[in-house]
Amino acid sequence: MKFLVFVLLGAIVPAFANEYCVKSVEEACGDKGTDSTNCNAIYGSIDSIKGDLSSLTLQYFMKSFDYLLLSSNFGTHTLNRPGFEKLYRKTSDDAWNEAIDLIKYQTTRGSTMDFEKDIKLVGDNFALNELHSLSFALDYEKILAKEIHGIHKKVSHAHSSTHAANEEHHYDPEITQYLEEKFIENEAETIRKLSGYTNDLAKLIKSKEPQSSLAIYLFDEYLAKQ
């Protein structure tokens, strides 16, 4: 079996010499210089979605700042909603940690983070009331989930049978697993939670009119205990 592996490697390397570390090492040991650029952790399709992962990372950094602004909006002495402040502060902290995790993942796969990528701004006005802030957060998470699904599709096996012949395609199950476990499942749970909060608060406000302020106060207390 070992002999067969070496035979296959010997047959494959000459055909794809520019892609393999062994070729770089051979050149480094000879008279062609010391280039070892192929001796890295890059494999699969990490390079093909480098820009997508960089954009997603910056989106999560922006998400952290956006939710921090939402949190500070409800932490003022005028609104004084500790439950909403806690909800958005935790979401901000989680987004920051997820962005850091994305950077670590890219370096683990031999890629680098591009901090010059443009990012899509979701909004710039965070002086929202309680119900509007929940609906804003729900839409925010759906936009992020859509972007993550787009990256997942680019490297998924399901996409490989449908892409056009002239379209560059790469299949990378390790990236799909990472996205599913670290982001897709979390986004699904976050969207479900926020949609529940939005509908519950809307029903409370409607049923408690004209004492809607009491309903909001009770809902904020509920969030503070979560």
Output the known binding site. 141
Instruction: Please provide the average confidence, as pLDDT, over all residues in the chain.
Output: 80
In the chain, the number of structural domains is 1
Q: What's the rounded mean pLDDT across residues 150-160?
A: 78
Phi, psi torsion values for 53, nearest 5 degrees:
-70, -35
pLDDT > 90? residue 112: no
Residue 106 lies in a domain: yes
Residue 129 lies in a domain: yes
Residue 21 lies in a domain: no
Contact between residue 191 and residue 177 where contact means Cβ atoms under 8 Å apart: no
Q: What's the rounded mean pLDDT across residues 145-160?
A: 83
Cα–Cα distance between 169 and 45 in angstroms, integer? 8
Residue with the bigger pLDDT between 83 and 25: it is 83
Residue with the bigger pLDDT between 167 and 136: it is 136
Residue 26 lies in a domain: no
31 band by pLDDT with thresholds 50, 70 and 90: low
Tell the burial category of 154 from Cβ atoms under 10 Å away from its Cβ (0-12, 13-18, 19+): buried
Residue 126 lies in a domain: yes
pLDDT of 166 reads 38
pLDDT of 189 reads 96
Does the global pTM surpass 0.75?
yes
Output the known binding site for Fe cation. 141
54-55-61 Cα angle (round to 5): 90
pLDDT of 172 reads 83
184 band by pLDDT with thresholds 50, 70 and 90: very high
Residue 57 lies in a domain: yes
Tell the burial category of 29 from Cβ atoms under 10 Å away from its Cβ (0-12, 13-18, 19+): exposed
Can you give the CATH number for the domain in which 55 is found?
Answer: 1.20.1260.10
pLDDT > 60? residue 102: yes
Q: How do residues 3-30 score in pLDDT, each as one tens digit?
A: 444 444 555 445 444 456 655 555 555 5
pLDDT of 158 reads 56
Residue 116 lies in a domain: yes
Residue 31 lies in a domain: no
Q: How far is Cα of residue 129 from the mean position of the Cα atoms in its chain?
A: 27
Q: Identify the domain containing residue 128 by its residue range.
A: 46-156+170-224
For residues 105-135, b (16+ Cβ closer than 10 Å) or e, as one string?
A: bbeebebebeeebeeeeeeeebebebbebbb
Contact between residue 166 and residue 177 where contact means Cβ atoms under 8 Å apart: no
Q: How do residues 42-70 score in pLDDT, each as one tens digit?
A: 666 677 788 889 899 999 999 999 999 99
